[in-house]
Structure 1
């Protein structure tokens, strides 16, 4: 058994909730058991300020807990966000890329809790690439995501899986059928290939607008041709703006945006929001 120390207010539970590595774990009492991929069977849990792991190494523990991204780096670039959401790290799993791709691809326009976690629990009984390539994903349901995955997973393995360079991987992802910038960036972020990748969803757009960082979603036709710095939409694209503002913690910021939007951005919760004095769409002004 090994452990690492977290920071004051950190929560392993809250860190895993919005992470695409969550389908790799199942909660058993107070512990999270890894059900697929590297370190299958490892147990992860928090006790006070420490996060513990059985049957894993220190690097895996740092990645899975989200504590690989140090507090100092976050505070330096996004202090106000950190002190409002100090419970969040950024949980990633670089050794489980193919499994994270499946979870990200299946998450498009469907319920995370109701569908994706249910599908992946059954799919990840097979976690070897060759076994997954032989699998008919439609045996797990009739949704279009599962139907499309039969073809797209093979495209992914043949064209993306080995790639390490963030921009090469992003362009290769965007050449896959049914993969847009949000899906590509979620893959890059939660595999650890690019911690500055920011999956721009409605929560990111809403939060950025309310905090005065308005921008538009990235456009696939431009993303397939240009890196962010060379793109003609650089000055208006929210992904580029967040990357420029927050650098290597931009992916953590997007995770905070998602968490904050789903926690506070309703009329009933608005008064409790830690950013109520800064929000440009404050309902209680």
Structure 2
């Protein structure tokens, strides 16, 4: 993969592009991904935040930045938060590149209005993700399209990973979605922790949480700051075999 492909492969903005990486859904249709500051991921540089890495992790992150800092960014698409929410919700316990891309392309072709999407989602396929999407969308709209993590976690069916995916790919790079890929790779980087507890996440911020010191999400935010989402992105790519071992 080239740098653009590496940046887009993990990103939820991939759901908004056609096979040639041209914007098909949402705002700025027809935009070519490589020409857009945000979709290309060029808006983000880990070098700006290198000093936010804590202690021994700074050397690890510096090594990663030397290898990938000028190549792998974080792709976002400002103005498409509603579509990104739907995509994030559908990622639960399924293959992103096989199922989620197919489902979202069917949904977004039918409508880009999430209110209407709530009505048609169950007709796209019988998967539980699509069957549960309407309730999640209704909660999302009723709560004012939240950007706060704990408010997102009050939405039916939204757990820590979905909330953090949404936050990361709408520009909050302190958010590191803890999935099986990150759980496997993070210990090699010096970040060993448990998956986040939904109960604790709904009650506390990471800064307040009594188990943040042993939670991979809490440790990532505390020890990496605005590098957390980028490091998680590299871990995902490495575990998928798209990058050499990090």
**TM-score of the superposition, structure 1-length normalised?**
0.77
* CA distance in 2: counterparts of 1:44 and 1:176, whole angstroms: 31
* CA distance in 2: counterparts of 1:178 and 1:131, whole angstroms: 19
SS at match of 2:241: helix
* CA distance in 2: counterparts of 1:264 and 1:140, whole angstroms: 30
Give the C-alpha shift of residue 205 in structure 1.
1.2
* CA distance in 1: counterparts of 2:144 and 2:185, whole angstroms: 31
SS at match of 2:28: coil
The gaps in structure 2 that reach 5 residues or longer are: 54-60
Give the C-alpha shift of residue 215 in structure 1.
0.6
How many equivalent pairs are there? Answer: 236
The gaps in structure 1 that reach 5 residues or longer are: 1-8, 46-51, 53-60, 266-271, 276-285
In 2, are the aligned partners of 1:74 and 1:82 still within 8 Å (CA)? Answer: no
* CA distance in 2: counterparts of 1:79 and 1:100, whole angstroms: 30
2:80 is the counterpart of 1:96: yes
* CA distance in 2: counterparts of 1:186 and 1:36, whole angstroms: 19
RMSD: 2.0
* CA distance in 2: counterparts of 1:124 and 1:216, whole angstroms: 35
2:121 is the counterpart of 1:143: no
In 2, are the aligned partners of 1:203 and 1:257 still within 8 Å (CA)? Answer: yes
Aligned partner (choices 46, 65, 70) of residue 40 of structure 2: 65
Matched with 2:30 is 41
Aligned partner (choices 202, 227, 241) of residue 224 of structure 1: 202
Matched with 2:57 is none
Larger Rg: 1
Matched with 1:105 is 89
Cα deviation, 1:111-135, whole Å, max 9, x if unaligned, reads 11221111111111211234334x3
SS at match of 2:178: coil
Give the C-alpha shift of residue 225 in structure 1.
1.0
Aligned partner (choices 1, 8, 26) of residue 16 of structure 1: 8
* CA distance in 2: counterparts of 1:177 and 1:72, whole angstroms: 37
Give the C-alpha shift of residue 174 in structure 1.
0.9
Structure with bigger RCO (C-alpha 8 Å, 6+ apart) = 2
Matched with 1:156 is 140
Give the C-alpha shift of residue 195 in structure 1.
1.4
More helix per residue: 1 or 2?
2
**TM-score of the superposition, structure 2-length normalised?**
0.89
SS at match of 2:156: coil
